[in-house]
Amino acid sequence: MIVNNNNRNNKNKLTTQDIRRYNWYIWRFIIAGFSFFVIMILLIAFQVFGTLPSFRELENPKSDQASQVISSDNQVLGNYYVKNRTSVTYRQLSPNVINALVATEDARFYEHSGIDFQRSFTIVLYNLIGKKQGGSTITQQLAKNLFTEKTHNPFVRIIQKLKEWITAVKLERNYTKEEILTLYLNTVDFGAYNTYGISSASRTYFNTTPDKLTPDQAALLMGMINGPGIYSPINHPDNALNRRNFVLRRMGEEGYLSEGQTEEFKQKPLGLIFKVTDHNEGMATYFRAVLKKEIQKILVDKAIFKPDGITTYDLDRDGLKIYTTIDATMQQYAEDAQKEYMRKLQAQFNSHWKGLSLYKAIPTFKSLLDKGMRRSDRYASLKLQNKTDEEIKTDFATPAKMNIFTWHGDIDTVMKPIDSIVYCKMMLRNALMSMDPTTGYIKAWVGGTNFEHFKYDQVKTGTRQVGSTAKPFTYAVAIEDGFSPCMQVANEPITITGYGADWSPRSSPSETVPGVITLRTALARSQNWVTAYVMNEVKPIPVAELIKKMGITSNVPPYPSICLGTFDASVFDMTGAYSAFANEGVWTEPTFLLRIEDKNGNVLYNNTPKVVQALNPQTAYVMTYMLKGVIDEGTGYRLRRDYHVMNPIGGKTGTTQDNSDGWFIGITPQLVTGIWTGCEDRDIHFRSTRLGEGANTALPIFAGYMKRVYANSKLGIKTNVDFVPPKSGVTITLDCGAYSQQQKGTNEVEKKLDF
């Protein structure tokens, strides 16, 4: 048995020749593998498997970047984007972000040149001792983020991986370590909520900027990089907390935090200040929507192309910087003033209509609802599903879950879709625009009450009947023709003929000032008969021509009734027109866009506003005197009485037929502000002038806005500044006492001549 066993052992024993042969097989396999690897690298380098990014592409990586809307005080009002990504510089990054990233993702980042071979071979050991890291360096991850698409094909993935290696080496050769870190943090995907890049993530999860992130905040965000889904602090807070604490531990192990700091930050809660960023959020939402269309039009009309001369700019992807005239502080004041008063006014409106049948009180209400239903997204969706009219009516009569706007915040409720249309129809709308009359720069723009629910812009896009805010145009023509504000006219009914059917304006008995009154009083108290008298004197064509000259772009037919504002115009145009009164007769085109730059700061477009001398300086100055009368003794007096705004201000209220539209336009030497209030449909309105007049629906918002503006001295809008008379002087008499004496012939010269 022993002999037999020895024979077997001898038979199984490897000879030296066998060992050499097996070693050769192993080396051949290694050499073949290495050769294959080298050949693959060469083939990829020579772009056999597709192009590699060029140096130019490395300098300009193709990552979608949001375009920024920037205010005049250098605040970001909002972004246009497909992916909400905004780039930051290395200096705008907190060291905590850099430390958390390097400690977690690539501890030897500062030592390798794109590919960490030592890390690749020791990755298993790293994981065994708790330093869990992937096989890719930060530079390789950047290459993957910038230039490759994900695939599940293993062969294609190998090719992609090798491409990433080559690209990573190129990146290391052409960029500094700081630049690579910045590029990476600007391109990384933070998962849900359209959050791309560290800037967007900082705003979304902590409502801050990357330079202000604390160690625990930075650790949370950097911990999300490799698993934004499973480490989401919103959907999986426990996972996020554990991951954050792991990153903090790694920061401690790498010497970025002391042991005490590490434990202190680990004990903190997540501390989220979560806010999803979308196009419905933020400041100046209506303005940004209008601005976007304007920029897209400019890029086409001005034939503005990228440096290749062929490719057009994409506002949602190319990271443009759009500099505007909007002042972020004043914009916030305007939005706050609107919200504060419209909450009260809506309560008045609801109480005013409580208990009344809308169908009986508003003859057109049923047709308005039908139109509203047919214009709704719900109706369009049902039509696409080939639903019949009866099925659609049934759907609109069936309660459903929905989110509705209230002035106390959005609420989720269950109601019939048709009732939601009634609810929206009964919501008051409001718009405000404020501008510098000397430069034309628009400082605040509030196009509606809530952009998410009511997207129609009522500053520039929408037009409404202007009512008595049109009266100053007729008086301005009269002043230009030599009339004095002190001229007296009998306030009595008048009929104007010669322009089609005879026209006789009405005047409310309760608001009619009896007897003979001055033109200044007539404008101040908004007297229709005297205004019509002046129109009959100056004729409609000159008035219509002046209105167009002062920037009104909507149709203004030359009929006598335009003196009472029977034409439609936008808040944008009307505010711009009034700015000529405050600016020595010079109409400067209302301007909201200053310039457009590409992502590298190259200027693509500079805006130059149009300037027109619409009125002579004396007429403009006299009109400021007339408009101050509205505030001192007329329909705008509650600005003094109720809101105690006592500085030099002119203005005009406006109330259209049946109280469908309420207006107030206020002027100061430094700021002109126009405000409109009304429902979506003109047939829905306050039933009493006391509630529906512009002095009640629009003027209080002006007061709230201006009081906020005046309280902030940094804005430079002063209360002790009055309108400056023209340098050539004023020949029209503004002292009505002296004017009266002149008319009676009792001046000193006439006395001496015994007239």
Distance separating alpha carbons of residues 43 and 584, to the nearest angstrom: 74
Distance separating alpha carbons of residues 454 and 481, to the nearest angstrom: 45
Are 256 and 335 members of one domain? no
3-state SS, one letter per residue, for 389-447: HHHHHHHHCCCEEEEECCCCCCEEEEECHHHHHHHHHCCCEEEEEEECCCCCEEEEEEC
How far, CA to CA in Å, does 189 sit from each of 68, 137, 144, 177, 264? 19, 17, 12, 20, 29
Question: At residue 441, what is the residue type?
Answer: Y
In-domain check, residue 32: no
What pLDDT does residue 485 have? 96
Are 653 and 517 members of one domain? yes
Query: Would you say 368 and 418 are in contact if contact means Cβ atoms under 8 Å apart?
Result: no
Are 422 and 490 members of one domain? no
Distance separating alpha carbons of residues 320 and 314, to the nearest angstrom: 9
- Among residues 413, 428, 443, the one where a domain terminates is 428
Nearest partner of 138 among 192, 90, 100, judged by Cα: 100
Are 345 and 470 members of one domain? no
Question: H or E stretch including 78?
Answer: strand 76-80
Instruction: Output DSSP code: residue 35.
Output: H
Are 580 and 435 members of one domain? yes
Residue corresponding to tokens 């009309």: 301
Query: Would you say 551 and 588 are in contact if contact means Cβ atoms under 8 Å apart?
Result: no
In-domain check, residue 406: yes
Are 503 and 649 members of one domain? yes
Are 113 and 225 members of one domain? yes
Question: H or E stretch including 369?
Answer: helix 365-375
- Among residues 206, 238, 267, the one where a domain terminates is 267
3-state secondary structure of 586: strand
Distance separating alpha carbons of residues 158 and 171, to the nearest angstrom: 20
Question: At residue 632, what is the residue type?
Answer: D
3-state secondary structure of 664: strand
Q: Along the chain (755 residues), what's the average pLDDT of each consecutive run of 10 residues?
A: 50 69 73 63 57 57 80 91 80 93 87 68 52 68 68 57 72 84 86 80 90 94 88 90 94 93 94 77 90 94 91 90 97 97 97 94 94 92 91 94 91 93 96 98 97 94 97 97 95 95 93 95 97 97 98 97 97 98 97 95 94 97 98 97 96 96 98 98 95 97 98 96 93 84 58 43
Distance separating alpha carbons of residues 111 and 4, to the nearest angstrom: 61
- CATH number of the domain encompassing residue 503: 3.40.710.10
678: exposed, middle or buried (C-beta count within 10 Å: 0-12, 13-18, 19+)?
Answer: buried
Structure tokens at 652: 């005009």
Distance separating alpha carbons of residues 181 and 464, to the nearest angstrom: 53
What pLDDT does residue 23 have? 76
What pLDDT does residue 572 have? 98
Beta bridge partners of 69: 78, 322
Contacts of 339 (CB under 8 A, 6+ apart): 407
Instruction: Output DSSP code: residue 189.
Output: B
Are 419 and 467 members of one domain? no
- CATH number of the domain encompassing residue 246: 1.10.3810.10
Question: H or E stretch including 704?
Answer: helix 699-711
Nearest partner of 532 among 487, 471, 485, judged by Cα: 471
Beta strands in 320-415 (DSSP E): 321-324, 400-404, 411-415
In-domain check, residue 362: yes
Distance separating alpha carbons of residues 320 and 604, to the nearest angstrom: 9
In-domain check, residue 153: yes
In-domain check, residue 79: no
Distance of CA 128 to the CA centre of its chain: 51
In-domain check, residue 414: yes
Residue corresponding to tokens 């001192």: 632
What pLDDT does residue 192 have? 65
In-domain check, residue 486: yes
In-domain check, residue 68: no
For 451-570, where are the alpha helices, taking DSSP H only?
471-480, 519-524, 528-538, 540-549
In the chain, the number of structural domains is 3
Instruction: Output DSSP code: residue 514.
Output: P
Are 634 and 688 members of one domain? yes
Residue corresponding to tokens 């008595």: 468
Beta bridge partners of 601: none
What pLDDT does residue 751 have? 46
Beta bridge partners of 67: 80
Query: Would you say 580 and 620 are in contact if contact means Cβ atoms under 8 Å apart?
Result: yes
Question: What is the span of the domain harbouring residue 385?
Answer: 285-428
Distance separating alpha carbons of residues 441 and 439, to the nearest angstrom: 5
Q: In what order do the strands lie in the sheet with 603-606?
A: 76-80, 67-70, 321-324, 593-597, 603-606
Distance separating alpha carbons of residues 719 and 645, to the nearest angstrom: 9
Contacts of 7 (CB under 8 A, 6+ apart): none
Are 419 and 437 members of one domain? no
Distance separating alpha carbons of residues 499 and 744, to the nearest angstrom: 36
Query: Would you say 655 and 693 are in contact if contact means Cβ atoms under 8 Å apart?
Result: yes
Are 490 and 629 members of one domain? yes
Are 255 and 343 members of one domain? no
Nearest partner of 203 among 190, 184, 219, judged by Cα: 190
Question: H or E stretch including 61?
Answer: none
Distance separating alpha carbons of residues 189 and 204, to the nearest angstrom: 13
3-state secondary structure of 192: coil
pTM of the shown model:
0.81
- Among residues 267, 298, 314, the one where a domain terminates is 267
Q: What are phi and psi of 659, to 5 degrees?
A: 60, 30
Contacts of 61 (CB under 8 A, 6+ apart): 53, 146, 147, 183, 187
How far, CA to CA in Å, does 515 sit from each of 219, 472, 505, 532, 722? 79, 22, 17, 16, 32
